[in-house]
C-alpha cells in the first residue's frame, strides 16, 4: 500500500524577472488505488507540482516535504524517484533521435526493476500493451517521440506507465489536445493500470472532459500555487457549471 504525502511544499523557479515562487504550500496525500483530480486554471502551478515531484532541475524546493511510503523523495535524484515508483506522464514528451521505442522501453524496464526482463514474456507484454492502446506494432521500431502525433505521444506515455508499473502516477494534462477516440483509449489504459496494480493517480487537468472516462475519488481545486478547495467528484461538476471564477476571486 503506497502512499505519497506532500506537506506544505514550496517551490520557486528562476525567471528573467527574478526568482518566482510557484508552489506556495501544497498539501496532498495520495494512496494506492486512489484517483485524485487536480484541476485549476492555467498558470496556477499544476504542472510545476508534477515536475517538482518528479525532480525537474528547473524548480527549486524551498520548503516542505514529499515522501513516498515514508521515504524522502526530495533527497532522491530524478531516476531514483522513478525507480522508487513515481511516474510522470508528461504533457510534452521529448524526442530522443536514434533511440527506438523498444530499446527505450527495455532500458527503462531494466532500470526500474533492477534486472533485464525475461525476453519472451517481455516481448509479449509489450505487444499486448501496445495492442490494448491500439498502437501499431511498427511503432516499437520508431525513434522515441520522433514524428509522433499528439495522440501517439500520449499513448506512448501510457504504454510506459503500464509496462513500468509505478505505484504512483502523475498524469500532467494527458487529455490536452486529444480527440475523443484517443482520449478514450488513453483513459482505458489508465483505468486498466489502476485495476491491475492498485495504482495511485494524480490526474492533472484543465478540463472536466477526461473525468467522464476516469472517475476521480477526490477533486482538488488548485489556485495560485496551492489547493484552494477539495471534495469528491461533485466538486468537478460544480466547476463545470461555475468555472474557476469563484476561486480566482478568493485568491486575489
Q: Give contact residues for another protein (rule: CB under 8 A).
A: 54-57, 77-79, 81-83, 87-88, 90, 93-99, 103-104, 107-108, 111-112, 143, 160, 164
The minimum distance between CB 13 and another protein, in angstroms, equals 14
Give the residues across from 65 on adjacent strands: 7
In the complex, least distance from residue 207 CB atom to another protein, rounded to whole angstroms: 24
Closer CB to another protein, residue 78 or residue 180?
A: 78
| Cell 510557484 found at | 22
Q: Are 22 and 229 in contact (CB under 8 A)?
A: no
The least CB distance from residue 107 to another protein, in Å, is 6
Report CA torsion sign: 66, 68, 69, 75. negative
Whose Cβ is closer to another protein: residue 1's or residue 94's?
94
Q: What is the rounded distance in angstroms from the CA atom of residue 118 to the CA atom of residue 132?
A: 21
DSSP string for residues in 168-179: EEEEESTTTT--
Nearer to another protein, 145 or 224 (CB): 145
| Alpha-carbon span 245 to 252, nearest angstrom | 11
Minimum distance of another protein from residue 67's CB (angstroms) = 19
Written as nine digits, the cell of 153 is 505521444
Q: How far is the CB of 105 from another protein (least distance, A)?
A: 9
**Would you mind telling me the total number of residues written for the chain in this entry?**
252
CB atoms near residue 17 (< 10 Å): 6
Would you say 34 or 157 has its CB closer to another protein?
157
Q: Which CB atom, from 173 or from 211, has the smaller least distance to another protein?
A: 173
Strand partners, 18: 15
Amino acid at each position: 500500500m503506497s502512499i505519497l504525502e506532500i506537506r506544505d511544499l514550496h517551490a520557486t523557479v528562476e525567471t528573467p524577472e527574478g526568482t518566482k515562487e510557484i508552489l506556495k504550500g501544497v498539501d496532498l496525500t495520495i494512496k494506492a488505488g486512489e484517483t485524485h483530480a487536480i484541476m485549476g486554471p492555467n498558470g496556477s502551478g499544476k504542472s510545476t507540482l508534477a515536475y517538482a515531484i518528479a525532480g525537474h532541475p528547473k524548480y527549486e524546493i524551498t520548503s516542505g516535504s514529499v515522501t513516498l511510503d515514508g521515504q524522502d523523495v526530495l533527497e532522491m535524484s530524478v531516476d531514483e524517484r522513478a525507480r522508487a515508483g513515481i511516474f510522470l506522464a508528461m504533457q510534452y514528451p521529448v524526442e530522443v533521435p536514434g533511440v527506438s521505442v523498444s530499446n527505450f522501453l527495455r532500458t527503462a524496464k531494466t532500470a526500474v526493476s533492477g534486472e533485464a526482463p525475461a525476453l519472451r514474456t517481455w516481448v509479449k507484454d509489450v505487444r499486448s500493451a501496445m495492442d490494448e492502446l491500439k498502437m501499431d506494432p511498427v511503432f516499437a521500431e520508431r525513434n522515441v517521440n520522433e514524428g509522433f502525433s499528439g495522440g501517439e505521444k500520449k499513448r506512448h506515455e501510457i504504454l510506459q506507465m503500464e509496462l513500468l508499473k509505478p505505484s504512483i502516477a502523475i498524469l500532467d494534462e494527458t487529455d490536452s489536445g486529444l480527440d475523443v477516440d484517443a482520449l478514450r483509449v488513453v483513459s482505458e489504459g489508465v483505468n486498466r493500470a489502476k485495476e491491475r496494480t492498485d495504482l495511485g493517480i494524480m490526474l492533472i487537468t484543465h478540463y472536466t472532459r477526461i473525468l467522464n472516462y476516469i472517475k476521480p475519488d477526490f477533486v482538488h481545486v488548485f489556485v495560485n500555487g496551492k489547493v484552494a478547495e477539495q471534495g469528491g467528484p461533485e466538486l468537478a461538476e460544480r466547476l463545470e457549471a461555475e468555472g474557476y471564477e469563484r476561486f480566482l476571486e478568493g485568491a486575489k
